[in-house]
Each structure stands twice: as structure tokens, then as C-alpha cells.
Amino acid sequence: MTKAPDQALEAQISAAIVRCAGGDRSALRVIYDLEASRMTGVAMRILRRKDLAEEAVHDAFMRVWRGARGFDPARGMGRPWLFAIVRNRALSILRDEGRFESDDGDAPEPEPDLAVSQLPESSALRRCLEQLEPRRRAAVVLAYVHGLSHGELAGRLGVPLGTAKSWTRRGLISLQECMG
């Protein structure tokens, strides 16, 4: 199925990050060619503006270049590391620069189950998400697809902040084990 190409892509990206740590500029280009469009999509879902999404991706690649030495392939995979960087940068832009444009509450509430149901039925990610306990699945999807912070998750799910953080962390660990 798609598992072998995904593993090959993951290996290629992880190797390129390691090469970036050694100062290989061509490795950064490899990562850009493979993931920039998907990273822009993640940033767009959070920021809802192409110019800001592109800024977030640019900043993320600068951080990848400067921080590649901090990546340890023994501790995790390269793609999630990349997407965490771009997600965090997009959220920082949203929060710190006050560029979020509200439409006075007319926007629909994000629905985590809808996001999961829109994944192809043959998708490994969908299968793994569906195996999560519903509240952990909601926490992961709301955080990583809809860009909610831990505080926003706690409010949305009606749980203490520590519980929201725990559900997100444990859900990600379960996803990593399922996908790995």
C-alpha cells in the first residue's frame, strides 16, 4: 500500500535534516522541494492568509536550518519535527502579531470528526486516528488541524488545561506508534 513510500519519504527527510545539521545547503532544498507545499497548507489552515502562511513557512525553514543540530532521528521522525516547527511559527504569528481577522463569530466551530471523515478510507492516518479514544482524537485534530492552543482545547472540551495537554500528548504518542 502507501506505507513503503511514506517510510522512504520519511527516511529521505530525516537524512536531509541530519545533512542540514552538517551545513549541507542542498539538503535544505531537498526538504523544501518535498514538503514546502504541505507546510504552506498547514500554515494556511491556521492563518487563513497566503502571505502570512508563506511567511510562516519561510521562518520555519530558517529555523530548520539553524536548529537542525537539535534534531535526533533516534528520538523521532523528521516530518513531524518539520510540521511542529511550521505550526508553532504560524501560531506565533497569529498570536504575537495580532493578525487574526475575526468574522464576529460567524465561522463554524471546527468539527474534529468531520476532519477525520474527510481523509481517504484507505489512509493509515485515518485508521490510526479512528483507533484513538474519541476525546484524545478530538484534542489531536483540534490542535493540529484547526490550530487550537492547549488553553483553547481545554475550554472547547470542558476539561482542565493539564488534561487537554495530556490527551494531546498521549494521542500523538499513540498515533506515532500506530503509524510507525
Q: Where do the domains of the chain lie, and which CATH numbers do they carry?
A: 1-99 (1.10.1740.10), 111-180 (1.10.10.10)
Average pLDDT, the chain: 84
Least confident interval from 4-13, 62-71, 98-107? 98-107
Is the model's pLDDT at 96 over the cut of 60?
no
- Round to whole Å and give the CA distance between 85 and 35: 12
Residue 47 has pLDDT above 50, yes or no: yes
What's residue 49's pLDDT? 81
- Give me the mean pLDDT over the 23-32 stretch: 95
User: What pTM was estimated for this model as a whole?
Assistant: 0.55
50-70 pLDDT, tens digit per residue, is: 888 898 999 999 999 999 999
DSSP track, 46-91: HH--HHHHHHHHHHHHHHHHHHGGG--TTTS-HHHHHHHHHHHHHH
How confident is the model over 24-40, as a mean pLDDT?
A: 95
Average pLDDT score over residue span 26-44: 94
**Residue 76: predicted pLDDT:** 86
Q: Does the pLDDT at position 99 exceed 50?
A: no
| C-alpha atoms less than 13 angstroms from C-alpha of 17 in its C-beta half-sphere | 28
Rounded to whole angstroms, the Cα distance separating 115 from 67 reads: 31
- Please state the rounded mean pLDDT for residues 81-89: 93
User: What percentage of the chain carries pLDDT values higher than 70?
Assistant: 89
Calpha distance 140→25 (Å, rounded): 33
Instruction: Indicate whether 106 pLDDT > 80.
Output: no
Whether pLDDT at 109 is above 50: yes
- What are the contacts of 56-61 at 24+ separation with CB within 8 A? 56/86, 56/89, 56/90, 56/93, 57/86, 59/89, 59/93, 60/85, 60/86, 60/89, 61/28, 61/31, 61/32, 61/36
Of the two residues 152 and 59, the one the predictor is more confident about is 59
Reported as a single tens digit per residue, the pLDDT across 110-143 is: 787 788 888 888 888 889 889 999 989 989 988 8
